[in-house]
Amino acid sequence: MHALVLSSSLDVSSRSEQLARLYADLLSARGVEVQFVSLKEYPLPKFDNGSAMLADPSYRALHAAASKADGLVLASPIYNWGCCAELKRFVEVVGTNPPGERVRSPFFDKIITFVNAAGLPQSYMAFSSMAISMMLDFKCIVNPYTVYVDNSAWTGEALSEIAMTRMQKSVQVKFELMQCLAKRNYHSTWQI
């Protein structure tokens, strides 16, 4: 099994990226082949749905990584009661295929897990609009054990026991979902 763990924060001291790296380590420990990607290293092109975007090296690398993965871990800081704009751009850009190949996006049928870092505990459902979009547009299976960590769960660079327990449960469920759905017989396309 292969997972793409994506850190969408551009912050140099990103807590959501710390969470993404920890998630990647925990998945690797279960025998999952993990590719960790930070959007700091893959600047996204402007979304123009055209040849300039489709020829961009970041688009091509990220499209290939998402296509290869059985599951995605989408890590984002929470800003303004939602996932960061870079994560939305990632979905828009990478979810597009070259002309003539528009039947399937690399996101179709993936098992998606959201990992979020936030300042306050109140925005724990901020990922939900993106989760619904991924589920309806790309027929993704959304891991119900999301990871939401606010500032109160950190002591220096260490996670609280409660946050770490939630992270481990999320990894366990993601692993089991990937195992169970590896043998599915259906393949989704653009449809209602």
Condensed to tens digits (0 to 9), the pLDDT of residues 84-118 reads: 999 999 999 999 887 766 667 899 999 999 999 99
Angstrom distance (rounded) from CA 114 to CA 74: 5
Give the pLDDT confidence score for residue 51 in this predicted structure. Answer: 82
The CATH superfamily of 2-181 is Flavodoxin domain (3.40.50.360)
Across the range 20-43, mean pLDDT stands at 97
CA dihedral 30, 88, 95, 139 (to 10 degrees): 70
Give the pLDDT confidence score for residue 102 in this predicted structure. Answer: 61
Percent of the chain residues topping a pLDDT of 90: 84
User: How far separated are the first and last CA of the chain, in Å rounded?
Assistant: 28
Lowest mean pLDDT of 30-44, 47-61, 93-107, name the range: 93-107
**For the purposes of burial, counting CB atoms within 10 Å of the CB of 8, is it exposed (0-12), middle (13-18) or buried (19 or more)?**
buried
Across the range 23-32, mean pLDDT stands at 98
pLDDT at 65 over 90: yes
Give the pLDDT confidence score for residue 190 in this predicted structure. Answer: 78
Mean pLDDT of the chain: 93
